[in-house]
Amino acid sequence: MTSGHAASLAQRFADIRAATVSLCAPLATEDYVVQSMPDASPAKWHLAHTTWFFEQFVLAPHAPGYRVFDEQFAFLFNSYYETVGPRHRRPERGLLTRPTVEEVRAYRDHVDQHLDRLLQTRGARPDIENLIELGLHHEQQHQELMLMDLKHLFSCNPLKPVYRERGPHPNPLPGGEGEEGPHSPLQFHLWPEGIYEIGHGGGGFCFDNETPRHRVFLSGFELAHRLTTNAEYLDFVRDGGYQRPELWVSDGWSTVQSQDWTQPLYWSDSHDSEFTLAGMRPLRPDAPVCHVSWYEADAFARWARARLPTEAEWEVVASHESIAQLFDDLWQWTSSAYSPYPGFRPLSGALGEYNAKFMANQFVLRGGSCATPESHIRTTYRNFFYPHMRWQFAGIRLAKDSA
């Protein structure tokens, strides 16, 4: 890596770290600490964890003479890296009133200064460059997670507070909550049978789970040119979709009953409004339906006499510019289980836990959302969540087998 490249990486590092902090600008101090459910994390924890990642995996092993900011932070802010050491229980992150927000900000400043110094002195080493790049994409993941978690937190407040007022068109606010125009009638694009290649082919960053590039055989299929709308999903609700067990896989039906689901997360019981990051807003019929689980997406597809696309189908279509844009406002559920590609090899050491250990019982989402930083999106990206989860910005794109 040239010195110019190191300078460019240093600027990218500064920009992404600043973007994380800017997401906290609308928050009061009290908003940083509260954890609304075990799957979510407080904003303060996100700020600290992303900082710990750079300290643990970049500075500690590669910055000569570096001393950690606080030896207790590794226990508090390690997420799931078993090989690194013990950690604070995830469901209890909201109990960490200390360290304070100001102390966490000081921690970020400390690590940022040392990381910048490392880039200036040793940034030409490819191993350091690769670790920093991984850390930056990790931080961008947490930028979206922070918005997901804040939206859930604010939705639990009877006052339904506003994170940020809606801005000008287009799509100013994360979560499929921009001012979109009417959607056209649903159309399906035919894709021919054939052998295709999917997976990252080299050039630019990717996570290890996007590799290796490999061939897949696809039968002919059709893919919807847009996402399912609120109006279309409301037809499913009104047709008794949540009361018809024949539409649901067994685990999904059990979840519907045990959780008393009757509509997507954040919809009002009257189905005429929904909670957004701009507070309660009228439900827009033509906007993409958002915050549905895989179970709900799969049941809707069955009701609509269609199915969810496989991740290979989605990627093949998305890689061709002649097809309508697939990178929409929401992540899109696929029917593909999150599992390793043929010949997959995880990263060595503790970073091998980043993706590989989660390759069971989850489903792949593709695309990105308007809460996803633009430079973080790519055709081969494999997002993944458990099928019951729905606080992420996820929607539905239908597929069909070709006649």
Q: What is the pLDDT of residues 209-241, one digit of tens each?
A: 999 999 999 999 999 999 999 999 999 999 999
Q: State the Cα–Cα distance between residues 34 and 41, nearest whole angstrom.
A: 8
Do 228 and 362 sit in the same domain of this protein? yes
pLDDT of 170 > 70? The answer is no
φ/ψ of 384, rounded to 5, equals -155, 140
What local confidence, expressed as pLDDT, does residue 183 receive? 66
Could you write out the DSSP letters of every residue in 137-168?
A: HHHHHHHHHHHHHHHHHHHTSTT---SS---S
pLDDT at 182 (0 to 100): 55
pLDDT tens string 72-131: 999 999 999 999 999 999 999 999 999 999 999 999 999 999 999 999 887 668 999 999
Q: In whole angstroms, what separates CA 25 from the centre of its chain?
A: 21
Does residue 344 fall inside a structural domain? Answer: yes
- Same domain for 375 and 240, yes or no, is yes
Residue pLDDT, tens place only, 264-305: 999 999 999 999 999 999 999 999 999 999 999 999 999 999
What is the rounded average pLDDT for all residues in the chain? 93
**Lowest-confidence range among 203-212, 229-238, 327-336?**
327-336
Measured CA to CA, the distance from residue 69 to residue 315 in angstroms comes to 43
Per-residue pLDDT for 171 more than 70?
Answer: no
Structure confidence at residue 320 (pLDDT): 84
In a domain, 160, yes or no: no
Contact between 173 and 53 under an 8 Å Cβ cutoff? The reply is no
Identify whether residues 237 and 144 lie together within a single domain.
no
Partner residues linked to 399 by β-bridges:
223, 307
In this predicted structure, the answer to whether residue 50 has a pLDDT above a threshold of 70 is yes
What is the CATH number for 218?
3.90.1580.10
What pLDDT, on a 0 to 100 scale, did the predictor assign at position 315?
97
My answer on whether 150 and 297 are in the same domain is no
Residues 151, 203: one domain? no
Residue 75 structural domain: 3-155
Q: Point out which residues pair with 332 in neighbouring strands.
A: 366, 395
Does the pLDDT of residue 244 top 50, yes or no? yes
Backbone angles phi, psi at 163, to 5 degrees: -75, -50
Look at the chain and report how many structural domains it folds into: 2
Q: Is residue 178 part of a domain?
A: no
Residue 344 in contact with residue 211, Cβ under 8 Å?
yes
Among 115, 95, 104, which Cα is nearest to 70's? 104
3-class secondary structure, 401? strand
pLDDT score for 184 = 79
Cα(221)–Cα(219) distance, rounded to whole angstroms? 6
pLDDT in tens, 294-316: 999 999 999 999 999 999 999 99
Q: How distant is the alpha carbon of residue 389 from its chain centre? A: 12
Q: For residues 144 and 193, state if they share a domain.
A: no
The reply to whether 255 and 137 lie within a common domain is: no
In a shared domain, residues 192 and 151: no
Q: Are 208 and 350 in a shared domain? A: yes
Q: How many CA atoms lie within 13 A of 53 on its CB side?
A: 23
Q: Tell me, what's the pLDDT at 121?
A: 85
The secondary element (H helix, E strand) that includes residue 337 is strand 331-337
Q: Compute the distance between CA of residue 348 and CA of residue 311 in angstroms, rounded to an integer.
A: 26
pLDDT of the residue at 341: 98
Nearest CA among 220, 254, 40, 65 for reference residue 148: 40
User: How far is Cα 48 from Cα 50, in angstroms, rounded to an integer?
Assistant: 6
Is 65 part of a structural domain of the chain?
A: yes
Clarify whether residues 126 and 243 are in a common domain: no
Choose one of 114, 130, 155: the last residue of a domain.
Answer: 155
Q: Would you say the pTM of this structure is higher than 0.85?
A: yes
Q: Does the pLDDT at position 63 exceed 70?
A: yes
Q: Are residues 89 and 209 in the same domain?
A: no
* Beta carbons within 8 Å of 81's beta carbon, 6+ residues apart: 56, 87, 350, 353
Identify the pLDDT of residue 177. 54
pLDDT value of residue 275: 98
Cα–Cα distance measured from residue 157 to residue 163, given in angstroms and rounded to the nearest whole number: 12
Q: Which of 133-137, 320-324, 354-358 has the lowest mean pLDDT?
A: 320-324
Can you tell me the distance from the alpha carbon of 307 to that of 336, in angstroms, rounded to the nearest whole number?
A: 12
The pLDDT score that the predictor gives to residue 332 is 98
